[in-house]
Structure 1
Amino acid sequence: MCWCFGWCFGDSIEDYPRETGCLERGQTLKKTFSGKTINSNIQKSFDPKEVEKCVLLKTPGLLGGPVFQRPLSHFSQITDTLFLTSFGGLTEHNISQNGIHCIISATYETPVIAVNGIEFIRIPVEDNVNENIYKYFDEISEKVNQLIASKKKTVIHCWAGKCRSTTILIACLMKCQNMPLTEAYKFVWSKRPFIRINKGFLKQLYVYEKDVFDKNFEEFNKIKSLNNFETPPKEVLLKFSEPKPIGTKNKPI
């Protein structure tokens, strides 16, 4: 019997095989690692009706719901050029107001966004503890570093803006900004305090930290404890709720 309570994931780079060119191949893949169909629909605008047509209608519970509402749809600015949001946060207003040049989609279930002036990059991963997201870290970090150097603003999203996109963003902060894992996690959480990374991805970030810095700065148990925030306090979530008209009072969440 295993007494790790679900935390028995690989501890070294060898446990997460790299694949040179995986980011390029990810743009044309048809299936995920577990055989799920990757959404190949083309979304040509941010019009809500078109978005609804392009999302996989057969996926239970996928349409509507909290990802199109605050706080998940909040367009969270993490650094001067990096943003984090849910699929529902990809509105024309958010994209244009923040001067976004590139959208990185850490999803398989949302459509390809083909909007003039916007570069689109797909990382077709599932929110699954057994998914090898590690193999994308180096190549997407290199791309993000190029975008940062050219001062082009980038938004990274997944379905809810909590797990897959956060994992990619933290990997980029470690590689591009020299942030240790604990520092990067706390930094992102301070900007978007409802992130939560699945067990497998968190372990892969821990392994990547050692790959980047040649050591881990904290014990893994401490990293796990940071990731145990189930629900932020109401007063914190209130800051990310829908804007209220002038003269109205905020209602409790």
Structure 2
Amino acid sequence: WPAGASRAGNSHVAPISDSEDHENLLRKGVTHILSVHNRAKPVLEDMTYLCISASDSSSQNLLQHFKECIQFIHECRLGGGGCLVHCLAGVSRSTTILVAYLMTVTELGWESCLAATKAVRSYVSPNSGFQQQLQEYERTLLREVRSPWIHSGGVFKQARHLCMQLS
């Protein structure tokens, strides 16, 4: 991946420009793209998309989309695919979604998962509202969302090992 991309197993956080580089996506095994920005829409015909319309504002509710996004990433990984999660800059919205996913499949808290992501992509930084939503997710909803997926397909062990190595 280019220097701007962050990788967690077969899930990648990157800016929008990486989501349009078809050859590189295919070379890296990306089969699914999760777009999280104001004008999110499918671009490449042979990719599977989940598009979430969201601004990079501390008042934007991303928490309401966590379960759908986590399921999308997890099903992609269980099927042997690779998932690119992107917003415009690959800093706040996409990072928030990837951290929520890592929390769900690793039994680690939001700060540990964010630290692991920062170890790969130093300038990732969910805005203050998204950080509060990650904290709320950890306090209230995580157990309920985590239980069906946590031990499926060895993804739990892979993701936890990766986070522990990076943090």
TM bucket (normalised to shorter chain) is 0.7 to 0.9
- 1:146 corresponds to which residue? 75
- 1:101 corresponds to which residue? 31
Q: Which AA in structure 1 matches 2:75?
A: Q
CA distance in 2, matches of 1:143, 1:205: 18
What percent identity do the matched residue pairs reach? 22
Work out whether residues 129 and 199 of structure 1, in 8 Å CA contact, stay in contact via their aligned partners in 2.
Answer: yes
Higher RCO (C-alpha 8 Å, min separation 6): 2
With the length of structure 1 as denominator, give the TM-score of the two structures: 0.52
Pairwise CA distance, 1:213: 4.5
Q: CA RMSD in A?
A: 1.7
Q: Which AA in structure 1 matches 2:70?
A: S
- 1:62 corresponds to which residue? none
- 2:22 corresponds to which residue? 92
CA distance in 1, matches of 2:93, 2:131: 10
Runs of 4+ in 1 over 4 A off after TM superposition: none
Q: Which runs of 5+ in 1 are unaligned?
A: 1-69, 215-253
**Richer in strand (by share):** 2
2:47 to 98, 113, 118: 118
What SS class does the counterpart of residue 113 from structure 1 fall into?
Answer: coil
Work out whether residues 50 and 72 of structure 2, in 8 Å CA contact, stay in contact via their aligned partners in 1.
Answer: no
Q: Which AA in structure 1 matches 2:14?
A: T
**Richer in helix (by share):** 2
Matching of residues 216-231 of structure 1 within 5 Å: none
Work out whether residues 75 and 94 of structure 1, in 8 Å CA contact, stay in contact via their aligned partners in 2.
Answer: no
CA distance in 2, matches of 1:127, 1:149: 29
Matching of residues 149-160 of structure 1 within 5 Å: 149-160=78-89
Q: Which AA in structure 2 matches 1:185?
A: L
Q: Which runs of 5+ in 2 are unaligned?
A: 145-167
With the length of structure 2 as denominator, give the TM-score of the two structures: 0.78
- Number of residue pairs the alignment of both structures matches: 141
Matching of residues 44-123 of structure 1 within 5 Å: 74-79=4-9, 81-90=10-19, 91-110=21-40, 112-123=41-52
